[in-house]
């Protein structure tokens, strides 16, 4: 079922299919759409899950909220409103990249409503790890292209943002360049708005930097952490999560970068299914 959740300031597009254990998928970004998770969405349905996902406010088929309304706090409240709308007592959460910060914020606000947590390539919860990650991304772009593109200048009205700009910026996110091409094609075929992406991404990243504080995210829950062996995130970033959760099961996938749901969708789904049945 594809439908809309009516919120006071706009509509949230969501998809709810299948029967069985509930699994909510949170896409990354900020500024992306749920469509790049479709491969794992369909496989999880085949594995017998009830799978729910949505375009975070301001993205995809959700309303074009004012940019200052596209906040982590508001997205957390969108999740809670969706849970209540669907009549769910608790939800299991899968979150990719930036979606992991939203998942942690949701768990902090509504701990009794969260069952299992599975995080793939989770964003750093310490500022120093975020700085290391940014430097690694820039080094990979330099290695591939010889320079780091500056495409986030919104004051230049004559600068048209392109998928080639985006491809250049994301070159260090993937182990295999063919998966980067696949990801870009998935976005082109989706309701993804590239100019909207850069606008929301810039503001969202600033908000995320202001939020990260490892002590705030301490929880008594366990979690599955999955990441690629070629991710640009530093190993220290994953080690820091040991101080957040009661216990983590950490799995590294070979020949994989930051975009695990695109690069290793099948392997990821099997790991999720195994963890959910432990």
15 touches 1 (CB < 8 A): yes
118 touches 275 (CB < 8 A): yes
Residue with tokens 């930051």, as numbered in its chain: 258
DSSP state of 45: H
C-alpha dihedral sign at 199, 202, 204, 210: negative
DSSP state of 56: P
Give CA 225 to chain center in angstroms. 13
Give the pLDDT band (50/70/90) at residue 37. Answer: very high
The residue range of the domain holding 121 is: 2-276
**For 215-250, what is each residue's pLDDT tens digit?**
678 888 999 999 999 999 999 998 899 889 999 999
The answer for residues whose C-beta is within 8 angstroms of residue 126's C-beta and 6 or more apart is 212, 214, 236, 237, 240
Residues in the chain: 278
Confidence (pLDDT) at 152? 42
The answer to whether the pTM exceeds 0.85 is yes
5 touches 81 (CB < 8 A): yes
Confidence (pLDDT) at 154? 40
| CA-based nearest residue to 267, from 191, 166, 181, 175 | 175
Q: In the predicted model, what is the mean pLDDT of residues 177-197?
A: 94
User: CA separation (Å) from 53 to 33, 45, 97?
Assistant: 10, 12, 15
Give CA 99 to chain center in angstroms. 3
DSSP assignments along 96-141, one per residue: ETTHHHHHHHHHHH-GGGEEEEEEESPPPSSHHHHHHHHHHHHHHH
Joined together, the tokens standing for residue 209 give: 């930097």
Residue 220: CB atoms within 10 Å:
8
Phi, psi values for residue 62, rounded to 5° = -75, 160
Confidence (pLDDT) at 149? 62
Residue 145 has pLDDT above 90, yes or no: no
Confidence (pLDDT) at 156? 46
Confidence (pLDDT) at 176? 97
CATH number of the domain bearing residue 217? 3.40.50.1820
- How many domains does the structure of the chain reveal? 1
Give the pLDDT band (50/70/90) at residue 7. Answer: very high
Radius of gyration of the chain (CA): 18
Residue 9 has pLDDT above 70, yes or no: yes
| CA-based nearest residue to 94, from 59, 38, 52 | 52
130 touches 233 (CB < 8 A): no
Confidence (pLDDT) at 153? 43
Residue with tokens 């959740």, as numbered in its chain: 5
156 touches 129 (CB < 8 A): no
- Tell me the C-alpha distance between 111 and 101, whole Å: 14
CA dihedral 49, 100, 253, 177 (to 10 degrees): 100
Residue 29 has pLDDT above 80, yes or no: yes
DSSP state of 47: T
Q: In the predicted model, what is the mean pLDDT of residues 86-94?
A: 98
């Amino acid at each position: 079922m594809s439908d809309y959740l009516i919120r006071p300031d706009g509509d949230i597009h969501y998809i709810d299919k299948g029967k069985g254990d509930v699994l909510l998928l949170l896409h990354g970004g900020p500024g992306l759409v749920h469509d790049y998770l479709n491969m794992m969405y369909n496989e999880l349905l085949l594995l017998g899950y009830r799978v729910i996902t949505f375009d975070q406010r301001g993205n995809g088929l959700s309303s074009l909220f004012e940019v200052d309304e596209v906040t982590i706090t508001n997205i957390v409240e969108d999740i809670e409103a969706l849970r209540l709308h669907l009549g769910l007592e608790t939800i299991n959460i899968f979150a990719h990249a930036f979606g992991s910060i939203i998942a942690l914020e949701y768990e902090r606000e509504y701990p009794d409503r969260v069952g299992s947590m599975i995080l793939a390539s989770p964003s750093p919860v310490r500022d120093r790890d975020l700085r290391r990650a940014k430097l690694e991304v820039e080094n990979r772009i330099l290695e591939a292209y010889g320079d780091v593109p500056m495409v986030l200048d919104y004051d230049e009205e004559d600068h048209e943002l392109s998928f080639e700009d985006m491809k250049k910026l994301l070159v260090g996110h993937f182990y295999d360049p063919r998966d980067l091409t696949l990801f870009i094609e998935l976005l082109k075929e989706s309701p993804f708005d590239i100019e909207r992406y850069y606008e929301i991404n810039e503001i969202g990243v600033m908000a995320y930097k202001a939020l990260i504080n490892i002590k705030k995210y301490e929880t008594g829950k366990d979690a599955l952490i999955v990441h690629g062996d070629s991710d640009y995130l530093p190993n220290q970033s994953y080690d820091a999560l040991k101080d957040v959760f009661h216990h983590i099961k950490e799995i590294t996938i070979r020949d994989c970068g930051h975009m695990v749901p695109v690069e290793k969708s099948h392997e990821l789904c099997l790991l999720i299914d195994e963890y959910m049945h432990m």
